[in-house]
Chain A
Amino acid sequence: MELLSDQGLRVDGRRAHELRNVECRLGVFGRADGSAYLEQGNTRVLATVYGPHEARAAQRRHDVASINCQYRQAVFSGWERGRRAGGGGDRRAQELGALLQNTLESVVLVELYPRSQIDVYVQVLQADGGTYATCVNAATLALIDAGVALRDYVCACSASVLRDQPLVDLNSLETSGAPELTAALLPRSGRLPLLEMSQRFHVDKLGELLDVAETACRDVHTILNRAVRRHVSARSSEK
């Protein structure tokens, strides 16, 4: 099966620079302070935010808020059933939780909430590639829904190179065995709070790939921004 046909079409009919279909909804759960559901193609993620609230003693910092993140994948989220339901989570989940914390710390105005804690929980319901990027985007939406002060949106996307052609927003078929880059962008400043790469890339290709990923992240930003504005105007016209 060809991942990229001679006409430049991918397995799901997209072109190399096209994102998958993005659908999202803010305020999914009433009990959490902020929540969001995001779908990028068949990857589906739920993010909830609790806080800012009083920090646990171990996490309390006198001058800034501490951000606590947890990344979990549902047992039925992958093609094959995952091994453990909940519990401690595996090492990759812990690593992604810590990575999410670092990414969000660059954008949340933590100086405004000293001695408090902001919990961000991300649950992957269905994983079909680009999972971590979708989680970052969902977490941003949930933070906006919770009313936490942010410096900027964090928009993430995955990218790769196939036969010298850069691809963006990979699905699970394109991810298996191929080199994968996940990058997040702060659209207003153009800075990258997150960059993760796996497998082998030729260093000459890296510049081009980062440019392509940056454009894709800006496309994601357009979609998320539109969704947030729609949500806010719907809420304000209700009351």
Chain B
Amino acid sequence: MLQNPSWEDHRTDGRRRRDYRPMELETGLVTHAAGSARLRLATTDVLVGVKAEVGEPLPERPRAGRLQFSVDCSANASPEFEGRGGEALAGSIASCLTRAYASPSALDLRPLSIVPARQCWILYVDILILECGGNLYDAVSCAVKAALFNARVPELDVSSADSGRVDVELSDDPFKLLRLDVENAPCLVTLLLVDSECIVDPTQEEEACSKASLVTAVTAGGLVTAVTKAGRGSFHPTTVASALEMAAELGAVLNRTLTEQLQVEEQIEDRQIRGFLG
């Protein structure tokens, strides 16, 4: 059905080209982390933990904090990921996210600076892939955005003593916390190329039928911060142009829906965290 030219916008599971599968999202599951989120996209399951540690800022950006991504493809998802088997996939997802967030318009890291050029908060975003059901990039990016939304970093009181020494003190109030503005954090939109048409949110079976895909990082305002072509096949330039347009549209909607749902979740009083207990 996928390779039939007259398939008329119907996929094997009844979706249209532009339809996403239902997503389930929950934040705050990992109590040891500054922020966390778990996202289920049909049979794709991703858990993200954000930990904040104090370190040195990058020399080229002394007044900003740092963001570091690492991905772990757990053997739970597939026996192929046992040992070092998942390293290649993990590396490509991590570098895609690094490029997506590299743009200054993506996430403002200046509030994370403690003492310019000397100390800043480093946010370690650790992604754990627990189940692979297709469309890993999108699921991971949405979970990352949710975890950053959930992340709370302690506020520090910085005072400079007369001798030029700078004192950094942790506030006594445990509720004095810094939140990140993730309004413009990008989401990745994967478009799979099937017979010169692009489909969004492919299942693992659909991914096996195609040779190329385009992964686009899109912000809520429809800005594109990174583009990667994945797979062995090739795109015609006109297909790329229309794919980018489609990705920008879908990405803006995805971002907006995600932010709305995160805000709804935050408003729930006395929320019981269900986690993996269902």
Contacts and interface: CB of A to CB of B under 8 A. Distances in A.
A31 to B, nearest CB: 6
B30 A126 contact: yes
A69 B71 CA distance: 21
Contact of A29 (B30, B32, B71, B131): B131
B43 A75 contact: no
Interface of B: 30-33, 36, 43, 45, 47, 49-51, 53, 70-79, 82-84, 86-87, 90, 124, 126, 128, 130-133, 275-278
B30 A87 contact: no
Given A37-B275, A72-B72, A75-B128, 18 more contacts: A25-B278, A28-B276, A28-B278, A30-B43, A31-B132, A37-B277, A48-B76, A70-B75, A75-B49, A75-B70, A75-B124, A76-B30, A76-B32, A76-B49, A85-B71, A85-B90, A86-B87, A121-B74
A125 B70 contact: no
A123 interface: yes
Q: Chain B interface secondary structure, helix, strand, loop or mixed?
A: mixed
Contacts, number: 109
Q: Quick one: which of A35, A86, A123 has the most chain B CB within 10 A?
A: A86
A126 B131 CA distance: 18
29 contacts: A25-B278, A29-B131, A30-B43, A31-B133, A37-B277, A44-B276, A46-B130, A46-B276, A72-B72, A74-B126, A74-B128, A75-B49, A75-B72, A75-B124, A76-B32, A76-B51, A76-B126, A77-B30, A77-B32, A85-B72, A85-B90, A86-B71, A86-B72, A86-B84, A88-B84, A121-B75, A121-B79, A123-B130, A126-B30
A75 B32 contact: no
Contacts of B70: 75, 85
A42 B32 CA distance: 10
